[in-house]
Chains A and B, each alone.
Chain A
Amino acid sequence: MQSHNQYFVPHGSYWPIVGSVGMASLLAGFASSLHGSALGSGAMVLGFGIIIFMVFGWMGQVVHESEAGTYNKQVDRSFRMSMAWFIFSEVMFFAAFFGALFYARNFSVPWLGGASNNFFTHQELWSDFKAVWPLIQMPDPSKFSVPKDIIHAWEIPAINTLCLLTSGATLTWAHWALLNNKRNQIIAGLAATIILGIIFLSLQALEYGEAYKHLDLKLSSGIYGSTFFMLTGFHGLHVTLGTIMLIVILMRVIRGHFNPENHFGFEGVAWYWHFVDVVWLGLFIFVYWL
Chain B
Amino acid sequence: MATTTSDVQIDIDAHDAHHGPEKGLLRWVKTTNHKDIGTLYLWFAFTMLLIGGAMAMVIRAELFQPGLQLVEPQFFNQMTTLHGLIMVFGAIMPAFVGLANWQIPLMIGAPDMALPRMNNWSFWILPFAGVMLLSTLFMKGGGPAFGWTFYAPLSTTFAPESTDFFIFAIHMLGFSSIMGAINIIATVMNMRAPDMKLMDMPLFVWTWLITAFLLIAAMPVLAGAVTMMLTDRNFGTSFFDAAGGGDPVMFQHIFWFFGHPEVYIMILPAFGVISQIIPTFARKPLFGYSSMVYATASIALLSFVVWAHHMFLTGMPIAGQMYFMYATIMISVPTGVKVFNWVTTMWRGSLTFETPMLWAIAFVILFTIGGFSGLMLGIAPADIQYHDTYFVVAHFHYVLVTGALFSIIAAVYYWLPKWCGRMYNEKLARIHFWWAVISVNVLFFPQHFLGLAGMPRRIPDYATQFADFNMISSIGGFAFGSSFLLLTYIIVSCIRSGEPIEDERVWESAKGLEWTVATPAPYHTFNEPPQKDKILSESSHVGAH
Contacts and interface: CB of A to CB of B under 8 A. Distances in A.
B164 interface: yes
Contacts of A27: 132, 168, 171-172
B221 A108 contact: no
Interface in A222-271: 222-227, 229-230
Interface in B198-244: 216-221, 223-225, 227-228, 231, 234-239, 242-244
Contacts of B12: 7, 9
A100 interface: yes
A100 B220 contact: no
B35 to A, nearest CB: 12
Contact of A5 (B7, B183, B219, B257): B7
B74 interface: no
A92 interface: yes
A57 to B, nearest CB: 12
B276 to A, nearest CB: 25
Interface in A200-237: 218-220, 222-227, 229-230
A112 B128 CA distance: 42
Interface stretch (A18-26, A159-167, A187-195, A276-284): A18-26
Nearest to A58: B117
Could you say which interface size class chain B belongs to? 35 or more
B250 A100 contact: yes
The DSSP consensus for interface residues of chain A is helix
B151 to A, nearest CB: 16
Interface string B159-172: 00100110110011
A5 B93 CA distance: 32
Contact of B228 (A78, A85, A100): A100
B220 A96 contact: yes
B217 A7 contact: no
B117 A10 contact: yes
Contacts of B250: 100, 103-104, 107-108
A279 to B, nearest CB: 13
B90 interface: no
B243 A143 contact: yes
A223 B239 contact: yes
Contact of A12 (B7, B32, B217): B32
A140 B132 CA distance: 36
B437 interface: no
Interface string A24-60: 1001101100110000000000000000000000100
A139 interface: yes
Interface in B1-52: 1-2, 5, 7-13, 16, 22, 27, 29-32
Contacts of B244: 138-140, 143-144, 222-223, 226
A34 B239 contact: no
Contacts, number: 239
A169 interface: no
B147 interface: no
Contacts of B172: 23-24, 27
Contacts of A82: 114-115, 118, 182-183, 186
B179 to A, nearest CB: 9
Contacts of B120: 12-13, 16-17
Contacts of B409: none
A11 B27 CA distance: 11
B13 to A, nearest CB: 8
A93 interface: yes
A149 interface: no
A70 B2 CA distance: 22
A13 B32 contact: yes
Nearest to A20: B124
Contacts of A74: 190-191
A81 B236 contact: no
A127 interface: no
A135 to B, nearest CB: 5
Contacts of B9: 5-6
Contacts of B111: 7, 9
A148 interface: no
- Among B168, B249, B524, which residue has the most Cβ atoms of chain A within 10 A? B168
A231 B532 CA distance: 50
Given A20-B121, A81-B186, A139-B243, A230 B228 contact: yes
B186 A31 contact: no
A89 B220 contact: yes
Contacts of B379: none
B84 interface: no
Given A88-B217, A104-B250, A135-B245, A16 B190 contact: no
Interface in A63-91: 70, 72, 74, 77-78, 81-82, 85-86, 88-90
A28 B114 CA distance: 31
Interface in B95-131: 111-112, 114-118, 120-121, 124-125, 127-129
Interface of B: 1-2, 5, 7-13, 16, 22, 27, 29-32, 111-112, 114-118, 120-121, 124-125, 127-129, 132, 161, 164-165, 167-168, 171-172, 175, 178, 181-183, 185-186, 189-191, 194, 216-221, 223-225, 227-228, 231, 234-239, 242-247, 249-250, 253-254, 257, 317, 524, 527, 529
15 contacts: A1-B1, A13-B30, A17-B29, A24-B129, A28-B165, A78-B114, A86-B178, A89-B178, A99-B253, A116-B317, A144-B236, A224-B245, A226-B231, A229-B237, A230-B237
